[in-house]
Structure 1
Amino acid sequence: MRSEDTPLDAAIRGLASGARKLARVVDVTRPEAWTALDEGIRIAIGYGEIERPAHPWTSTGRLPAALRAVLRSPAPTEAGLALALCDPSGLIREAALPHAAGRPAVLPLVAIRTTDWAAPVREKAETVLAEALRGADSGTLALTAPVILRIRRRMRGGTAAALLDEALRAAPAATVSALLLSQDRTTRRFAFGIAVERGLLTPAELARTAAYDGDMAVQDIAATAALAAGVPDDTLPLLLAARSGRVRSAGVTALRKAGRAAEAEPFLHDRSGMVRACARWVLRQDGHDPVALYRAACADPATVPDRAPLGLAECGDPKRDAEALWELTGHERALVRSSAVAGLRTFEVADFTRLLPLLDDPAAGVVREAARALLPWADRLPEEEFLRRTGPGRPPHVRVRALLLLREHGSAAYEKTVRRLLDDPDPVLRLRVRSALGIEEPAPRSQGGPSRFWRT
């Protein structure tokens, strides 16, 4: 017996006491609840925490058809069927499976049984699941698909996933479309991929999904499919204005196919490196020289775009262009300064006398880029340069980066400095130090899984 009662224990007792509907004790919309219920029932019955139900219907299921007609017993309740499907005895699990046919409420447990260690149970579960998924409505799929996709990581879990894939490829378009609204992210991604492969979405719908969807994986699938299908001119601006760099890069690439390559020039200065690279490619294909455009942009400090210095470093010549970047490390805008320092790092510049003072910049982004540029050579620089920047009176972003450089230096004072900063009275500094060093406080875990899975 477990010494501490959990919400899962209470849910299992609810099933054992005769609750007829699983939804009364289990949050059936969460795949984690189903897998936890399966394990919890097996443990509870196996260790005698609840009494094993009689399950008279499981014994008649193994008799010849003529005798079953004579010895008919009442159909099992959802609760009784759930307990039998998760029983420690393989004979009971196997005998329960035929009764799960036509019972969509327990289909997630049937899916779990397709990964069963006992071959007879597994084979029968596969038969029941295949038949149930064939022609299943959107409600049944919405309940079962998340469980199938969760267990596919298990040994033998691929069978149920293959059956789901087969069912969705043959299902009506409306059924697949309903899964695109699933609250389960994995299910939605799976259904979206099948919808794209089946051509159920128009290019305009794909472009809108790529631009506005909150799931980056779905954005990527939609953007790639939109490019392949041909992005309509009226939806191309959606891709170009998307928050995701991968989606914007798809839009920039589409400019060439649309005969609008010249419009890629502003994207040479995009915040995403992928977008900048795509813009350079599109312009080169159209006969323009991105390096010349970058040099012209960086020549005038009054009009230089924020990320032009980094773009220049990505395709320029260190011997010719490094000095222009040094000039921009003193620019009035912090983004230009940090971009210039990032560009110098791309050029692998090792002028320590000019890089070290940048660790004192008032902008955290500039200090971050300066520290990254110095990191490969930290063990060759004076320890004092880093140690004094960890002291009181320095901004938190300076002290944290100096600490990381001190660690890379291999300084004997590093451990002492870490303890000092973790005990610093500045809460912002303490938080940043913990984050930079990857120090996390483990969240307490309750036995039996999150209580929101269970209803008592």
Structure 2
Amino acid sequence: MGQEAEKGRAAAAALLGGDGTAVGGRLTWTEPKVWTGPETWTGPRAWIAFDKEVRRLQYTAYGVLRSTRVEARLCHADGRVRAAALGASRFPPPELVLIRCTDWVPAVRERAREVLGGAVAKDPEDALPALAPLVLRLGRREHGAWAVQQLEAALGGRDSVFAAWWRPEQLSTTSGPKSLTDAQRTSVVDRLHLSRDLATRQFAARLAVAPGHGIGVRELARRAAAEPDPLTARLWNDAALAALAADGPDDEAVDTLLRARIPMVRAAGVTALRRSGRAREASRHLVDRSSLVRACARWLVKQDGGDPYAHYRALLEGPEPVSPYAVTGFAECAGRPDAPLVRGLLEHPEGAVRAAALAGLRRMNGHVEDAVLIRLLDEPSASVTREASLSLLPVARRLDPDHLAERIAPERPLHIRRAAFRLLRERGGIAGLRASVALLEDSDPGLRETARETVSLWDWQAGLRAGEGDAAELGGLLTRSAHLFGDYQLALLRSRLGPTS
């Protein structure tokens, strides 16, 4: 988002610096039917930043206008200059005219709306998809609702300035087209669905699922399953479920929901199995990677008279390969007496299963000996090491600090260094400080940052009072980390540690 605004500010600086192609070459865009890369599209924040930056930079120290180009005059601080720019023979970028439609000066605002309406009505199929992201962004302003209302009216088949040929006054006459044709609306909405702007895709989805949208349940399910944004996907998903409830079961639509990338949509597909008479299929989704989908599957299995617990146990004890999500699902509905079954999976050949077993045992309050967990810290699987360290956190103070300190050495794998440092920091005391100082220059940025934060916030005097290292050792550690402190703070810390520091 910051890069987008910076692009607008850079274009403003280039325009006022004499670059005649600044706006046309740097900011003006259309929504291409096939996206060829981020360089082909400029978001609304760039135009808003351009407007503000031109107004900030356009005067020299002597009050002389730095540029007479229509783009600069359209962003002028004087409303009379802005109004005159709207009547320029060379039509300015429609994005800037759109911004002026929200102007605080009524005369500028009304003139801009006339100019924009005439420009958009020439070719609404290209203009509306290009302007929609900025329309929706400006809709948050005090006078921004007008453009949103006109866009909604145009795409809803109602009278709109964006469809009136050529002037808005024709909305009150009987001559000239006042609304977009069905083909035009379909073309515009289809392109809005493909926008890179998230708010625009959500806007298009709300239009499409409104009453009378005419989209079939299978298409609604397809869009819900393919949409990467959760909010937009929910709009499609809710519309698909409503269509299923109104029109009856549709196996193809339900199967599409079950294949969705977003867990919420897959969960909706699982619950839709009951109305479709396919409740027996719920057991297939007990091992879904999402806890939400697994919970819905367990509910449906119970509604169908089944026992999710028995199904999970059969998966763990059966001859088929064990899935890590089967282990997680079993832990979600099992109790502490079932811990021995899960504990036996700590020797499973697949790292993901071992990691799931450790996480499941924590959920079930199942005991695992410290020695076993410490051994698992050296696992080649990063997920196992992480889960082992999380299981050891409650008992970190009773662990051998030297054993952990060996595992933060530079030659150790990154996931082992991270796990050992997590435990040393939890353990606290001089062991945690030593580890933090040792990792101040670690090759991993995350470890470096955590180590520097720990050292910067360390209470050196309290450590000395508690007997966690003598003044000489603490002074040496402070010297190694001196670059983290200012001169005054460093001198103050040394004075508190005593003369041996």
**TM-score relative to the length of structure 2:** 0.68
- Correspondence for 2:218 among 199, 204, 227: 204
For 1:222 and 1:101, locate their aligned partners in 2 and report how far apart those are by CA, in whole Å. Answer: 45
Q: Conserved in 1, the CA contact under 8 Å of 2:285 and 2:294?
A: yes
For 2:250 and 2:119, locate their aligned partners in 1 and report how far apart those are by CA, in whole Å. Answer: 36
The alpha-carbon deviation at position 92 of structure 1 amounts to 2.5
Higher RCO, 1 vs 2 (CA within 8 Å, ≥6 residues apart): 1
Distance 1:192 1:368, change over 3 A: same
Distance 1:434 1:100, change over 3 A: farther
- Cα RMSD after superposing both structures: 3.8
Q: Is 2:189 the partner of 1:176?
A: yes
How many percent identity over aligned positions? Answer: 37
Counterpart in 2 of 1:272?
290
Q: Is 2:212 the partner of 1:187?
A: no
Q: Is 2:237 the partner of 1:223?
A: yes
For 2:343 and 2:356, locate their aligned partners in 1 and report how far apart those are by CA, in whole Å. Answer: 11
Distance 1:26 1:336, change over 3 A: closer
Q: Conserved in 2, the CA contact under 8 Å of 1:261 and 1:282?
A: yes
The alpha-carbon deviation at position 349 of structure 1 amounts to 4.3
- Correspondence for 1:32 among 15, 28, 45: 45
The one-letter amino acid of 2:106's match is: P
The one-letter amino acid of 1:357's match is: R
Q: Conserved in 2, the CA contact under 8 Å of 1:298 and 1:309?
A: yes
Counterpart in 1 of 2:77?
88
For 1:23 and 1:207, locate their aligned partners in 2 and report how far apart those are by CA, in whole Å. Answer: 40
Distance 1:184 1:434, change over 3 A: farther
For 1:101 and 1:167, locate their aligned partners in 2 and report how far apart those are by CA, in whole Å. Answer: 27
The alpha-carbon deviation at position 203 of structure 1 amounts to 1.5
Deviations 1:275-320 (A, max 9, x none): 21121122122121111211222224754333212101112222x2
The one-letter amino acid of 1:144's match is: L
Counterpart in 2 of 1:327?
344
- Correspondence for 1:336 among 353, 362, 367: 353
Q: Is 2:109 the partner of 1:120?
A: no
- Correspondence for 1:45 among 54, 58, 63: 58
Distance 1:351 1:217, change over 3 A: same
The alpha-carbon deviation at position 150 of structure 1 amounts to 3.3
Distance 1:39 1:339, change over 3 A: same
For 1:378 and 1:121, locate their aligned partners in 2 and report how far apart those are by CA, in whole Å. Answer: 70
Q: Conserved in 2, the CA contact under 8 Å of 1:301 and 1:328?
A: no
Q: Conserved in 1, the CA contact under 8 Å of 2:28 and 2:93?
A: no
Deviations 1:150-182 (A, max 9, x none): 345667656654554454344644132232232
Counterpart in 2 of 1:59?
none
TM alignment of 1:361-440, pairs within 5 A: 361-375=379-393, 378=396, 383-384=401-402, 386-391=404-409, 394-421=412-439, 423-424=441-442, 430=444, 433=447
**TM-score relative to the length of structure 1:** 0.74
TM alignment of 1:41-120, pairs within 5 A: 41-47=54-60, 52=65, 80=70, 82-94=71-83, 96=85, 99=87, 106-116=93-103, 118=104, 120=106
TM alignment of 1:3-14, pairs within 5 A: 8-13=12-17
Distance 1:25 1:303, change over 3 A: closer
Instruction: Extract unaligned runs of 5+ from structure 2.
Output: 1-8, 30-40, 158-179, 454-501
- SS of equivalent to 1:329: helix
Q: Conserved in 2, the CA contact under 8 Å of 1:111 and 1:129?
A: no
Q: Conserved in 2, the CA contact under 8 Å of 1:341 and 1:370?
A: yes
For 1:49 and 1:7, locate their aligned partners in 2 and report how far apart those are by CA, in whole Å. Answer: 23
Distance 1:261 1:302, change over 3 A: closer
Q: Is 2:297 the partner of 1:310?
A: no
Q: Conserved in 2, the CA contact under 8 Å of 1:146 and 1:187?
A: yes
The alpha-carbon deviation at position 27 of structure 1 amounts to 3.2
The one-letter amino acid of 1:368's match is: R
Deviations 1:36-58 (A, max 9, x none): 32123212323369953998xxx
The one-letter amino acid of 1:143's match is: A
Distance 1:138 1:366, change over 3 A: same
Distance 1:334 1:153, change over 3 A: farther
- SS of equivalent to 2:251: coil
Count of paired positions: 400
The one-letter amino acid of 2:72's match is: L
The alpha-carbon deviation at position 130 of structure 1 amounts to 9.0
The alpha-carbon deviation at position 109 of structure 1 amounts to 2.0
Deviations 1:380-430 (A, max 9, x none): 655455434323554321111221232233343435424533534xx5xx2
TM alignment of 1:253-272, pairs within 5 A: 253-272=271-290
